[in-house]
Amino acid sequence: MTPKNKKDVRRKILSTAEKLFAQRGFDASGIEAIAKTAGITKSLIYYYFDSKDDILRDIFTDFAKKSVATKKRVVKAWLANPKIGVDEIIKKYSLPFMIENRDAIKIAFAESIKDIEDTPHLNIFQFFDENFNAGYEISKQMGLKTERTQSQMITGFFMFFAPLFSFIIFSDEWCDYYKTDMQETTDLFADALAKMYTHFITENTGITDLESILKRKPAS
């Protein structure tokens, strides 16, 4: 089997497992179900993964890597256009990424309410830490004076991270229940979240866009 074929098989196993875990739950989706749905043998799955936990761990490892890559694309776009608003960042980058990875997010929320000692790889705060630290390092690389504080982390998680995840998890059901259009609902959510986040930043720092941040950049 060529390296490309191995990557394709691994990707198929992970994507199949991700869909099953999101639909049925992690505990209710066994290796046999994953193999049957993917159209492969159980032995082939065990060739790539030691257990179902390993599959889940890799799903979130891949998700975290893609999330950090998206954050870097946001910074690149922001530097190219310092006047870009938070609403545009949410609509063009944050929400599309979250929607694309809806299944991983559903699994994370469903499984993270379990005892962390039993499923340490599903600790939602660990994933948040990786993203927060990535943003912190990017700011440092930009030469901005930043400081990791509990206040910043609380704001980042409860005012931005958690609302985004909640929207991805419940937006389909919301639109079905209230008979609303998904695109219109998405736009309204993005506008509301952007206003809230921008208001918080302005109230605490007086900064509304990257252009203002760069003006405060410490002299080298």
pTM of the model: 0.78
Same domain, yes or no: 63 and 38: no
C-alpha span between 135 and 137 (Å, rounded) = 5
Give residue-wise pLDDT tens across range 49-84: 999 999 998 998 898 889 888 888 887 887 788 778
Same domain, yes or no: 132 and 183: yes
Residues 59, 17 contacting (CB under 8 angstroms): yes
Give residue-wise pLDDT tens across range 132-151: 777 777 666 666 666 678 88
C-alpha span between 190 and 88 (Å, rounded) = 8
Same domain, yes or no: 114 and 15: no
If pLDDT is split at 50, 70 and 90, which confidence band does 215 have? low
Same domain, yes or no: 84 and 34: no
DSSP string for residues in 128-171:
HHHHHHHHHHHHHHTT------HHHHHHIIIIIIHHHHHHHHHH
Same domain, yes or no: 80 and 154: yes
Q: Residue 78 is part of which domain span?
A: 59-215
| Tokens found for residue 162 | 């958690």
Same domain, yes or no: 43 and 70: no
C-alpha span between 158 and 125 (Å, rounded) = 11
Give residue-wise pLDDT tens across range 100-135: 999 999 998 887 777 656 555 556 777 788 777 777
Q: How many domains are there within the chain?
A: 2
Same domain, yes or no: 67 and 32: no
Inside any domain, residue 220 = no
pLDDT of residue 143: 62
